[in-house]
Structure 1
Amino acid sequence: MPHLTVHALESDLVGREAALIEKLTDAVVAVYGEWARSIAVVQLIGLPRGRWGIGGLSAEAPSPSVTFGIKEGAFSRPDADEIIARLVAGVTDAIAAVLGERVRSGVTIEFVGTRPGRSGVGGVVVTS
């Protein structure tokens, strides 16, 4: 299941949560297909100013950071590079559309692959 955790300044998120969740889900669906809509998970984590540091200093206006959980098998597909590129572009576009173009150049996305058997849902290990 695609799982996006977005860290952003709380002040950037306030009042924009629903729009950001919708746009990020749409970005995932644009790559995976409509079947992914019902299983796409988006978590927005807002940080107050002063609690985000870059280079040892408090960052004044950092761009959002996204951790994108994905099945490890996606990285071994023949079209993996294309899928990752489309996800990076789509997620970045979604964030910039909601939070503004000022964040685009600094949006970071890290893909974290999960092997079968290394996660669980509802108390049961997911093996596929």
Structure 2
Amino acid sequence: MPHLTVRVLEPQLGGKETALIAALTEAVVEVYGEWARDVVVIHLDGVPAGRWGLGGEPVEEAPPAIMFGIREAAFTRPDSEELVARLVRTVTGAVAGVLGAHLRDTITVELVATPAGRTAVGGVIVDG
């Protein structure tokens, strides 16, 4: 299951939650295929104003930060370089499309690899 956690200032998010969830889901489906639609998990973490700082000061606008949890095996596939590049491109495009193109060059995407046997659903370890 692809998991995405998006951290963004609450005022920047302001009512765009549904659109952002839909756009990120479509981005994942574009890369992984239709099978991913029902299993992609998206968490939106809205950070209240005054609780995000850059350079030692609170900011009014900050670049969204995305943590994308994927299986470690994605990095060992023969096409892993292209897969990773497509994931980063589509996720960045989805966020910029909803929150504003002016943020595109500052959006960060961190791909976090989970080794096989390190994910559980319903109290049961999921293989592969």
Class of the TM-score when normalised by the shorter of the 2 chains: over 0.9
For 1:90, the equivalent position in structure 2 comes to 90
Cα offset, 1:57, TM superposition: 2.5
Uncovered stretches (5+) of structure 1, i.e. residues with no partner = none
Mean alpha-carbon deviation: is it higher for 57-66 or for 24-33? 57-66
Write the mapping of 1:99-114 to structure 2, written as runs, cut at 5 A: 99-114=99-114
Mean alpha-carbon deviation: is it higher for 52-61 or for 17-26? 52-61
Write the mapping of 1:1-128 to structure 2, written as runs, cut at 5 A: 1-128=1-128
Cα offset, 1:118, TM superposition: 1.1
Residues 4-53 of structure 1: CA distance to partner in whole angstroms, max 9, x if unpaired? 00000111112110100000000000001111111111110000121112
TM-score normalised per structure 1: 0.95
Distance 2:11 2:19 in 1: 15
Distance 2:88 2:47 in 1: 22
Q: Report runs of 4+ in structure 1 exceeding 4 Å deviation.
A: none
Uncovered stretches (5+) of structure 2, i.e. residues with no partner = none
Distance 2:59 2:79 in 1: 36
Percent identity of equivalent pairs: 55
Distance 1:120 1:70 in 2: 14
The root-mean-square deviation of aligned C-alpha atoms, in Å, is: 1.0
2:4 aligned partner, one-letter code: L
TM-score normalised per structure 2: 0.95
